[in-house]
Structure 1
Amino acid sequence: METWFIALVSLCIIFLIRAIFSSLTTTNKTTATLPPGPPHIPIITSILWLRKSSSQLEPFIKTLHTKYGPIITLKISYRPSIFISDHTLAHHALVQNSAIFSDRPRALPTAKIISSNQHNISSAFYGATWRALRRNLASEMLHPSKIKSFSEIRKWVLHTLINRLKTASELETADYIKVMPHFNYAMFCLLVFMCFGERVNDEKISDIERVQRTILLSVNKFNIINFWPKVTRILFCKRWEELLKLRKDQEDVLLPLIRARKQVKESRLNNVNPVVSYVDTLLELELPDEKRKLSEDEMVSLCSEFLNAGIDTTSTALQWIMANLVKYPDVQGRLVDEIREVMGRDGNGEKVEVKEEDLQKLLYLKCVVLEGLRRHPPGHNVLPHAVTEDVLFNGYLVPKNGTVNFMVAEMGWDPRVWEDPMEFKPERFLKDETFDITGSKEIKMMPFGVGRRICPGYNLALLHLEYFVANLVWNFDWKVPEGGHVDLSEKQEFTVVMKNPLQVRISPRI
């Protein structure tokens, strides 16, 4: 034990000397400095930051912005992390200088395992591979005509969700129901079909949900391995083995679905079903730089990314929106009145479903969804960006080896942009008819990011939220349980979720 301890201390001293020397030589090379931030002690402060979750870091970073300004630096790992909270600076970086700020940082060891060495859309370097992967998703899955091809499965999932909620609410012992498990189940059914092209049974849905959520909720647990990986991978070898086992479990669940779809495609049996799944597109895709098809490991990473992007974020946003509709019954009532007016005007007052073509007429519904995303963005930061070269930005050095983080929640809650920013007021969007969620001209909020790295599925996400919110309030009256209340406290999981999940009483509206 003493030998091990002496070796570790010796390595720490060597690393400390190298870090100080590196810092001194970097300072001599350039007159530009990193954005301001708290004092940094090599190794020690990095370990302290890595032990904290995102939810623990966020209020501290907000305090630093108050002290140092809208652009600050933290040295969380061996690379500097820059945090930007000002919407004007974000627009200057991500829109006006999008080519420079569109790269991703080099993946840390644990992230390389999950992303197949950065062979997915969210983590790929800015270049030919990223363009090929994103273009495939955008044109083959997210084109309006392709989105429309999944309308029947959305309708089936909606009816399944309504029946599950109705059954749960009718139980004699049910004073209230917890809605999040039902939302998660519905989104898994929908996205699994879009990904693999088939409806799977509840057991398979449970398996997929288990492996996906286990990895998502375990990310922070493996952070320590990313600090000085040559050493920590040995010191924390059991944790490293645990990560590899989680990845193996994920492959064991997803690969049979990928292989089954490949067999269907090769046998041409899918001619019976004209719907093109995400896996179908991946089987045809060729990486331009490497002149090869995707490996099975890479397809697992891309399918996992597709599921996570469409399930966890959407079900989280859906719960936040419904929570506010329960908390503010006048907003719920106004939304129901709008739906009733549109349905009645179309002569369909008796129909149960608000169809997708009805959504474009529901302006207040769009305001409710946008306000939910502004007030409760599922992610309080976009995925880290990186610059392709050292850049002088707002008078500070943004280094090529750093990460650039944009504070989504702070921008959406900025009192200089939004009146009473912490209040839930959908009406604010009725006054802003030119509001653009892509932020191309001006950033007021950016729940999907902006610029070249904007989430390619933002239109699909808005469709799903509008479709399910409209039909949930059209079919049920949502109320607080007797003696209960809606708690909007937050906690960090993969997304920022309700600390106390929504509990409601629902009754048929029609």
Structure 2
Amino acid sequence: MDSWVIVLAALLLPLAVLLRNVSSRRRRLPPGPPALPLFGNLLWLRHSAADVEPLLLQLFKKYGSVVTLRVGSRLSIFVADRHLAHAALIGAGARLADRPQAATSTLLGVSDNIITRANYGSMWRLLRRNLVSQTLHPSRVDQFAPSRVWVRRVLMEKLRESGGDAPDVMKAFQYTMFCLLVLMCFGERLDEPAVRAIEKAERAWLIYISRKMSVFFFFPCITKHLFRGRLEAADVLRRRQRELFVPLIEARREYKRRASQGNLPARETTFEHSYVDTLLDVKIAEEGDRSLTDDEIVTLCSEFLNAGTDTTSTGLQWIMAELVKNPTVQAKLYNEIKATCGDDDEVLERNVRDKENKMPYLNAVVKEGLRKHPPGHFVLPHKAAEDMDVGGYLIPKGATVNFMVAEMGRDEKEWEKAMEFIPERFLPGGHDASVDMHGTKGIKMMPFGVGRRICAGLNIAMIHLEYFVGSMVMEFEWKEAEGHEVDFAEKREFTTVMAKPLRPRLVPRRS
């Protein structure tokens, strides 16, 4: 009997190896340029990993809509095809819902216990559920209506201060969005110097991380010594965040203590609810029901501010630039707002929160802006939890997978006149009226991502964009200023912004 087992094994083993090799050849990695072990692709000798998009556009033309790159020892796969994106993000479900660990997190000791970076598991579910069911719940969004009214007033004052003579409106957008998100985060309406300090600290951190830390993708055990100065500079920026945030967190602790005693401060600048309030109540059951540390709360507050400020202000800039360049669209939008709201700002606020959407053209203008100019040209990277097959390609366990948001939204094969600004495509009866930005049934555009890691702030982001676009069109006629013609060239910062900042001529519509 033992002899027969040995003979049978000797016959079957070569066959199993042969079948495995055939299977491996069939399940091949997506194509990509030549690479060396440990170092990665040779093209990194000429290109920067921090500005990979122009390089990818060339590689897609050569290799097709799925490309493999190796950055150091990390395998990264980039997908520009909407059908493959749907198969991966919707079809694969939890198998592609993890996040790759950033080298900088380990090197800087920054916690990955935040919604955008945590792996798909209990911690991520706890934090996301807390955000969605509390601060982003429709009832809370309604509670923050006075904050939007206040920020609208601040924005109009900033735009009027320019005298209408070709102001750099992006600065006004960024500041006012920080005002709004700081208030929602910390529950306090801060004065301008305090908001400016937070804005400066957050922007410095984001830009430094995105521009200076890519060297640690390669041999981090070595580069952490070669570029120690960069780590020290990043640590200084991180400490500055803590200096600004911890006193505000402590203030909310005191507020909650006094609230429990029925002794609330009678100050109109203090709001009843804040994101920090919810974080102070979070308990991590898997770790002995512990509370979040101050460092974890600082990181979560930073995430909240960055997710809602840079993306929204960038979206506003691109949409207003398109309205400057397309005065007929702007006039049509103004007529809809005027017919619906008259001169009543409160009606505008109520209508953009109305599920029936009484201003369809405003909604269409915002969607068209996000299609043609998504603030993020990539979604945040995903990580394969196991070997998987997508479109006949092997996505090995541990590989980083990213998706080309801008390429999908501008695909000439999927969108008629893709590079023209045509909001009518999203109106009832329009060719793309049924496009679902959640991507459940199919993906045509995904400015907020899709699937299990879709942006939790999608709904409130649309409210903010519609409210502030509508407010600015209600207040001013936006025209092209001589010598400051609109240029749609792009520049990569934390988001993809206009390389030449928008400087319009603002003509007041009312006194």
The one-letter amino acid paired with 1:310 is G
Match of 1:492 in 2: 492
- How far apart, in 2, do the equivalents of 1:441 and 1:218 lie? 38
- How far apart, in 2, do the equivalents of 1:425 and 1:492 lie? 25
Q: Is the 8 A contact 1:352 1:475 kept in 2?
A: no
Q: Is the 8 A contact 1:65 1:72 kept in 2?
A: yes
Q: Is the 8 A contact 2:36 2:42 kept in 1?
A: no
- Of residues 174, 191, 214, the one that matches 1:184 is 174
Q: Is the 8 A contact 2:71 2:217 kept in 1?
A: no
213 and 289 in structure 1: CA distance in 2 versus 1, 3 angstrom threshold:
same
Q: Determine whether 1:390 maps to 2:387.
A: yes
State the shift of 1:391 in Å.
1.4
- How far apart, in 2, do the equivalents of 1:328 and 1:263 lie? 51
Give the alignment's Cα RMSD to 1 decimal: 2.1
- TM-score normalised by structure 2 residue count: 0.89
Q: Which runs of no fewer than 5 residues in structure 1 stay unpaired?
A: 1-25, 344-348
Q: Is the 8 A contact 2:108 2:235 kept in 1?
A: no
- How far apart, in 2, do the equivalents of 1:180 and 1:250 lie? 23
50 and 376 in structure 1: CA distance in 2 versus 1, 3 angstrom threshold:
farther
Match of 1:376 in 2: 373
Which string of whole-angstrom CA distances, capped at 9 and with x for unpartnered residues, describes residues 13-60 of structure 1? xxxxxxxxxxxxx99995533211111123555585398456742122
380 and 54 in structure 1: CA distance in 2 versus 1, 3 angstrom threshold:
farther
Match of 1:210 in 2: 200
282 and 47 in structure 1: CA distance in 2 versus 1, 3 angstrom threshold:
farther
Q: Is the 8 A contact 1:113 1:247 kept in 2?
A: no
Match of 1:249 in 2: 240
Q: Determine whether 1:355 maps to 2:344.
A: no
State the shift of 1:358 in Å.
2.3
Match of 2:36 in 1: 41
- Of residues 60, 69, 73, the one that matches 1:65 is 60
Q: Is the 8 A contact 2:132 2:456 kept in 1?
A: yes
SS at match of 1:136: helix
198 and 50 in structure 1: CA distance in 2 versus 1, 3 angstrom threshold:
farther
Match of 1:15 in 2: none
Q: How does 1:289-438 map to 2 (within 5 A)?
A: 289-291=286-288, 292-343=290-341, 349-352=342-345, 354-359=347-352, 360-430=357-427, 431=430, 432-438=432-438
- How far apart, in 1, do the equivalents of 2:71 and 2:61 lie? 19
Aligned length: 475
- How far apart, in 1, do the equivalents of 2:434 and 2:491 lie? 33
Which string of whole-angstrom CA distances, capped at 9 and with x for unpartnered residues, describes residues 401-450 of structure 1? 21000000000011121011111111111113322111111111000000
Q: Determine whether 1:235 maps to 2:229.
A: no
- How far apart, in 2, do the equivalents of 1:336 and 1:54 lie? 43
Match of 1:140 in 2: 134
- How far apart, in 1, do the equivalents of 2:291 and 2:367 lie? 39
Match of 2:448 in 1: 448
Q: Determine whether 1:266 maps to 2:257.
A: yes
- How far apart, in 2, do the equivalents of 1:274 and 1:246 lie? 29
Deviation larger for 430-439 or 399-408: 430-439
SS at match of 2:160: helix
- How far apart, in 2, do the equivalents of 1:53 and 1:208 lie? 29
27 and 475 in structure 1: CA distance in 2 versus 1, 3 angstrom threshold:
farther
The one-letter amino acid paired with 2:461 is A
State the shift of 1:274 in Å.
6.3
Q: Is the 8 A contact 2:348 2:470 kept in 1?
A: no
- How far apart, in 2, do the equivalents of 1:51 and 1:260 lie? 50
The one-letter amino acid paired with 2:220 is P
205 and 74 in structure 1: CA distance in 2 versus 1, 3 angstrom threshold:
same
Q: Is the 8 A contact 2:315 2:374 kept in 1?
A: yes
Q: Is the 8 A contact 1:84 1:405 kept in 2?
A: yes
Q: Is the 8 A contact 1:47 1:224 kept in 2?
A: no
80 and 275 in structure 1: CA distance in 2 versus 1, 3 angstrom threshold:
same
Q: Is the 8 A contact 1:286 1:293 kept in 2?
A: yes
Match of 2:111 in 1: 117
- How far apart, in 2, do the equivalents of 1:194 and 1:160 lie? 16
Match of 1:79 in 2: 74
Which string of whole-angstrom CA distances, capped at 9 and with x for unpartnered residues, describes residues 451-481 of structure 1? 1100000000000000000010011111111
Which string of whole-angstrom CA distances, capped at 9 and with x for unpartnered residues, describes residues 136-170 of structure 1? 00001111111111000100110111122112216
119 and 48 in structure 1: CA distance in 2 versus 1, 3 angstrom threshold:
farther
Match of 1:501 in 2: 501
SS at match of 1:80: strand
Which string of whole-angstrom CA distances, capped at 9 and with x for unpartnered residues, describes residues 273-312 of structure 1? 6631000000000123223111111101100000000000
248 and 261 in structure 1: CA distance in 2 versus 1, 3 angstrom threshold:
same
The one-letter amino acid paired with 2:279 is L
Match of 2:9 in 1: none
Match of 1:5 in 2: none
Match of 1:154 in 2: 148
Match of 1:283 in 2: 280
- How far apart, in 1, do the equivalents of 2:484 and 2:443 lie? 37
SS at match of 2:95: coil
Match of 1:461 in 2: 461
SS at match of 2:93: coil
SS at match of 1:355: helix
- How far apart, in 1, do the equivalents of 2:410 and 2:108 lie? 32
SS at match of 1:190: helix
The one-letter amino acid paired with 1:160 is V
271 and 46 in structure 1: CA distance in 2 versus 1, 3 angstrom threshold:
farther
- How far apart, in 2, do the equivalents of 1:252 and 1:135 lie? 28
Q: Is the 8 A contact 2:279 2:292 kept in 1?
A: yes
- How far apart, in 1, do the equivalents of 2:203 and 2:241 lie? 10
Match of 1:163 in 2: 157
- How far apart, in 1, do the equivalents of 2:306 and 2:158 lie? 23
Which string of whole-angstrom CA distances, capped at 9 and with x for unpartnered residues, describes residues 50-96 of structure 1? 98456742122122222222211000131100001111111111112
Q: Which runs of no fewer than 5 residues in structure 2 stay unpaired?
A: 1-19
